[in-house]
Amino acid sequence: MESKLVFQDVVGLPTALLAVFAVDLAGPNDADALPVLLTTSDAVTDAAATFLTGGEFKAKLGETMLLHAPAGLKAERLLLVGLGKAKSLSVNEVRKGAGTAVRACKPRGIRELAIAFPEDHALSDEHLETLPCSLTARALVEGAELAELDWDTYKSDRKDQSITALTLVGKDGDRSTKAEIQEGFDEGIILADAQNFARHLVNEPGNVLTPTVLGARAKAMCESAGLACDVYGMDKLKELGMGSFAAVAQGSAEPPALIVMRYEPAGITDGPIIGLVGKGITFDTGGISIKPAENMDKMKYDMAGSAAMIGAMKAIAAIKPRVRVISVVCSAENMPSGTAFKPGDVVTAMSGKTIEIINTDAEGRLVLADGLHYARTLGCTHLVDAATLTGACVVALGYLNAGLFTNDEQAWAAFMKGVEKSGEGFWRLPCTDDYKPGIKSEIADMVNSGSRAGGAISAAMLLKEFVGDTPWIHLDIAGCAWNEELKPWLPKGPTGVAVRSITEWVRTYEA
């Protein structure tokens, strides 16, 4: 999809479909209040009038109404897109609204659309604050670009429903801030491209995307983005003493990949080095502690944490913040076999700490233990990891918020500042030292799997053993990496969660 930004009156814009937003004003004191458009042009208001006044269109989030040949407009169709209650309107609803507009076009064979930027004059003072122009433009582009993908590339009778062109229409003369809208638009393209790149990786089946292929895809991305990238195999794991990562990899016929990507802006030789560490299990059978057959197919997405890091590196390479970033991705396939690691084994991690294996299905923390320690040895001063780590996190938080664990209040505050921009959901859970008995082993420094109670926390506690005093954030994205239910603005499938938030977090450390 080619996206462009223009500043002109929407009335005179020739397009196959013009999407305009509306909000629901009905509240407890005024149940009959009619929805209002966020576009003020008379021709648009007139064309939409019957639907707005007739009660047929309520402007609920994700609701749409399509009108053909709207009088007075150059557009062939007018699409009303609901953003939900005016009271709760934020850029997050705008992101979803833009996605809804794009997805409304696809099944109708409409290849090209325009979306009207919410107009100043249509917004209350409060909304002028909750919808800052730069972030609103960014969210519009992100929502549209994320909605554009469909996961039918492996269907032989695939019907091409791709949208070829999107025009975002800012009103000429509105807010004297064209430059801000342009900036948000440009950033939105970069972030959405990076997130979609991550989603493509996550969508790939395990037989296509092996650790070796993940390494090759990361390398190809780095080459075109101007990043340094090294991909290592089992020999390097052995040489570095990564006994924990190697144990997970040893059961598979597919060799592991240790992927190291570097962003080193010219002239920055001191200050922080941000480390992005990703879990890249390209398929998780559970190993000898094998998983039940039901839903095991979903475990191709067990590399979503690494995809988030590779995507974030792509965004960082384009945004070019003045801070150094190193990403370490630990990729392997977790398989049962004659060479697989077993419950009862004791492995020695790169840091020298020993881990007693209780359950080979708790493999993510084992690869990350070595990845986090390795990132520290490469000089990282701040760490973030992302992983589809535990089913327990899905039980605790569901699908709307990923688990966030940290050992550092400042890093956490910086991360949450980024989240305000990204609009993603993260909810903090504890990992204080009083949880440490939960990973106590009789014979080694720790076990890899504690009791079922607080399972997401035990996993975080194991990771914490390998970060020392380095400020660290752990994101358990098991519940958020895959969209389980079709939304008006998003297909089922990979979400690319955390790409935007991690990129924003990195930017908070700019020199």
| Alpha helices (runs of H) in 398-449, residue ranges in sequence order | 409-422
Determine if 251 is a binding residue for Zn ion (CB under 5 A): no
> Is 155 assigned a catalytic role?
no
Using a 10 angstrom Cβ sphere, with 0-12 exposed, 13-18 middle and 19 or more buried, the burial of residue 69 is: exposed
φ/ψ (deg, to 5) at 10: -65, -25
Annotated catalytic residue 365: yes
Give the Cα separation of 380 and 324 in Å (integer).
9
Q: Give the single-character DSSP code of 452.
A: S
Q: What is d(CA 336, CA 344) in angstroms, rounded to the nearest whole number? A: 15
* Shortest Cβ 81–Zn ion spacing (Å): 38
Give the binding range for Mn ion (CB under 5 A) out of 16-24, 76-84, 100-108, 363-371.
363-371
Shorter beta-carbon distance to Mn ion: residue 174 or 363:
363
Closest CB 361 distance from Mn ion, rounded Å: 4
What is the CB-side half-sphere exposure of residue 442 using CA atoms within 13 A?
Answer: 3
Which is closer to ligand BES, CB of 15 or CB of 449?
449
Cα(481)–Cα(479) distance, integer angstroms? 6
User: 179-198 mask for Mn ion (x: CB under 5 A)?
Assistant: --------------------
404 makes contact, choosing from Zn ion, Mn ion, ligand BES, none, with CB < 5 to 8 Å by partner type, with none
Binding of Mn ion by 361 (CB under 5 A): yes
- The reply on whether position 284 binds Zn ion by CB under 5 A is yes
- Total number of residues binding Zn ion (CB under 5 A)? 4
Nearer to Zn ion, 92 or 448 (CB): 448
DSSP annotation string for 116-150: EPPPGGGS-HHHHHHS-HHHHHHHHHHHHHHHT--
Interaction site with ligand BES (CB under 6 A): 284, 302, 359, 361-364, 388-392, 394, 449, 455, 478
Asked if 284 interacts with Mn ion (CB under 5 A), we say yes
Nearest CA to 349 out of 239, 467, 244 is that of 244
The item of ligand BES, Zn ion, Mn ion, none sharing an interface with residue 196, based on CB under 5 to 8 Å by kind, is none
Residue 476 contacts Zn ion per CB under 5 A: no
Question: Least Å distance between CB 286 and Mn ion?
Answer: 5
Q: Is the Cβ of residue 361 or residue 465 nearer to Mn ion in the bound state?
A: 361
Q: Is 142 one of the binding residues for Mn ion (CB under 5 A)? A: no
| Cβ(343)–Cβ(289) below 8 Å | yes
Select 284 or 465, whichever has its Cβ closest to Mn ion.
Answer: 284
> Tokens for 83?
């953003």
Q: Report the sign of the C-alpha dihedral through residues 177, 179, 182, 183, in that order.
A: negative
What CA dihedral angle connects 295, 296, 297 and 301, to 10 degrees?
Answer: 100
C-beta nearest to ligand BES: residue: 391
Q: Which of 85, 236, 291, 436 is catalytic?
A: 291
User: Can you tell me whether residue 258 is helix, strand or coil?
Assistant: strand
Sign of CA dihedral 70, 75, 77, 82: negative
333 contact, one of Zn ion, ligand BES, Mn ion, none, CB 5-8 Å limit per kind: none
CB count in 10 Å sphere of residue 416: 14
Site string for Mn ion, 231-270 (x = CB under 5 A): ----------------------------------------
For Zn ion, the closer CB: 365 or 421 = 365
Supply the minimum distance, in Å, between the C-beta of residue 76 and ligand BES. 44
3-state secondary structure of 412: helix
Nearest Cα neighbor of 254 from 284, 217, 293 is: 284
Contact status: 174 vs Mn ion (CB under 5 A): no
Please say which residue, 366 or 439, places its beta carbon nearer to Zn ion.
Answer: 366
Q: Which does 470 bind (CB under 5 to 8 A by kind): ligand BES, Zn ion, Mn ion, none?
A: none
DSSP-assigned states of every residue in 54-107: TTS----TT-EEEEES-TT-SSSEEEEEEEEEGGG--HHHHHHHHHHHHHHHGG
Catalytic residue of the set 199, 324, 365, 507: 365
Interface residues toward Zn ion, by CB under 5 A: 281, 284, 302, 364
Known catalytic residues? 291, 365
Interface residues toward Mn ion, by CB under 5 A: 284, 361, 363
